[in-house]
Structure 1
Amino acid sequence: MSRVSKGRRRRGNHSLVHETNDEDEAMSSSQLPQIQQNNDETQSSVIPHISGPSSKRNVRGRYRGKEVNKLTKNGEKIEIDLAKGMKRVVGDKARMVANECENVLRSTVSLRDCITWNQVTAKYGEVMMRKMKDMFKPREGRDEVIFHGYCVMAMQKALRTWKSNLHEEYKAYATDELRLENQPDSISPEDWRWLLEYFATPQFMRDLITGELAPPDIVWEMQHARTKQGVLVWSDPQSQEIHGRIQQHVNEQAEVPVEEPRMLRDEILASVLGERSEYVRGKGYGSMTSKRKLNQTEVHSRVSSAIETARAEMRAEREAEREEDRVQMRTEIRADMRAEREVEREEDRVQMRAEIRAEMEQEIDRRIKEQLGALMATLQQGQFQASGSNNAENSPVGAQGHV
């Protein structure tokens, strides 16, 4: 089976269904594939391990950071420029820093341990930042906070892109065997096998904003169709026909007034696909009495309420953490600004003292010159008077007067 071009696998507005964000923290960990330890001998109990080399693909290789390694091989750090007041690297090293953020993330993080950004920062945040600061340094020490903020932003974006690209690789093949044979080179075999299980869970297909599962027509399309050269291709005509009927029900329910009851997603699927005795879609077979149904409804209601309460508490905690971060950031910015102003004041004081000293020296020189000029004039006048007196005494008239 040929691979689907990476650039043509998007499905319009359905991308929200596939992405994950911080709301993933509200999901029960028991509903996700079990996280395995990093061990080459560990095998998935659901997806078989297929040995042998992956088929070669004509794509550009992964960024390896060779230039960074060359510039830092002697323990030196690469100087970078940061935009004032913005979390942005500028200059000729900007692309290098962004690439290295992605490289550090992929070489450090195991997706089996951490699938959300909060989990990644909790376990690997300090390690990743230490790696970045060992390779790069801002030209001015006071920009360290801005560099830290940029790395966080770049790595968070790189994590979203990485998971999105891996999901595109997942959708490119119809079976797990083919997916294992065509494992992406940006992830380890163990993490890839775990992701194959994770991508198949209903929790992964939920909506990002509401936390609810995606509409049944979108889920059906994700499970039974894929894009090929920008065109949606169904696994068989029957799946396409069922999708049309499900979509019709979804559109009809969207027009039902809010105050009136609407069909649930399972009810829509049951109306299109039919029901089997004691079978619940996604949960399998099982005997269920009326009393048990009532109890299960009550339990489901309590669980839903508990989940909503937990989500609200987590949102409040995250908002409190964000507020603390904002307060800390403002405090650090104020401290930096005070330090800058103090440096500027000191420079102004030094310059002012230099100007005053220069003016005083000029004034002293002027006064000394005036005093010297006055003294010279007085001396010249005295010499002139003395010379006149001597001339009068030596003249004949003066001599006769003396006789």
Structure 2
Amino acid sequence: MKDLKDLWEFGLETYDASTNQRFDMHVALMTTVSDFPGYEMLSGWSTKGYLACPECHYETDFEWLPCSGKTVYRANRKFLDPSHPWRHDKRNFDGKLKERCQPIPLNGIDVEYMLRDFPNAFGKKQKQPRRDVDDPNPWRKIPIFFELPYWKHCSNRHNLDVMHIEKIFFDNIIRTLLDISLKTKDNLSARRDLVELNLMPELQLIELEDGSEEFPRSRFWMSLEQKRKFCQVIKNSKLPQGYASNLSRCVQVGERKIAGYKSQDALFMMNYLLPIVVKTTLPKDVASPLIRLSPFFKGICSNSNDPYSEVIPEPKRKSRVRLQGKGVKKSNLKKKENKSDFIFLAEFLENMQAQLVQQLAPSVTNAILTQLRDANIFLLTKMGNLLNLEPQSIRCMASKMEMK
């Protein structure tokens, strides 16, 4: 912390090679990146219990699952746009409308004011009992970063590591699809919680006459042969060098398990292999949302500001082609030999030249444009013969295009 203060107040003498001068470079810490347990250590906000969401803070919506013994946070539709159709979808969610707006996150000035008299008690502590629902104090300490004079003015002080989150997502998806014992999320306690919450009656446990309970099959249930196929596809995948580790050692086809992979391996399988595997083994209504998860995580890791742009691309518009001359029909475009029967206008050549100059060497650009001009003159002659134009008119048009 002392080094961060000195770098902000006094700076560090640095050499600028472009101007051949030295200057004092001041440094500021703008944000931190960590996993969710590390978020608690850096921010001081408890990431466990009833108010575990740092963004929703005191407005966190939570539910206690009595059978699973967990606290869940299902009110995620409040982060959608007010006009989003999922806000009014009762059937596929909890049977309620969601009209509540997104909570406003606490800024640094508010946090500093709230923790002005908070006692920092470090060291080994006795285990505290479970906090009450109405406990107004989810803070654990005053973050040391508030000793920096500019920290309270930072708008985005803490961030989560997307690779860690993506690995957790992939772990839960794989364990649930392959029905790995003691690790799947579709277990007996989860089915009993559905009865308590009165959700998804088709998946709730069915009591039989002898007192036992029947476990209904879910839509993502796979047979043993499908699970082997699922694992075999990942095991036999051939990857470019450096993209991921040896995934074949992580796949056990006989036991139908995938384990021992790292975060980089999970990122690669989530983005590239999982869409291929689920499309060949699962029904369309189950595979579709899993496939859309891949571009969503790609959008988060890309330079795009909107991750949903990768998931829901803009609709493609069909290009319109104007056909000129006698004997030229729209059906001819489907024939391979007639795909070159277009006239490249001078504006097209100019735009093509501007794009090619930026990407290719000038010699390659000139060669390509020369071929396009030759093709243009040939097509002008061909179309002139079809339209019964005089050769002088055709040469005049070609010379004008050469001058441009």
TM normalised by structure 1 equals: 0.20
The structure with more helix, counted as a fraction of residues: 1
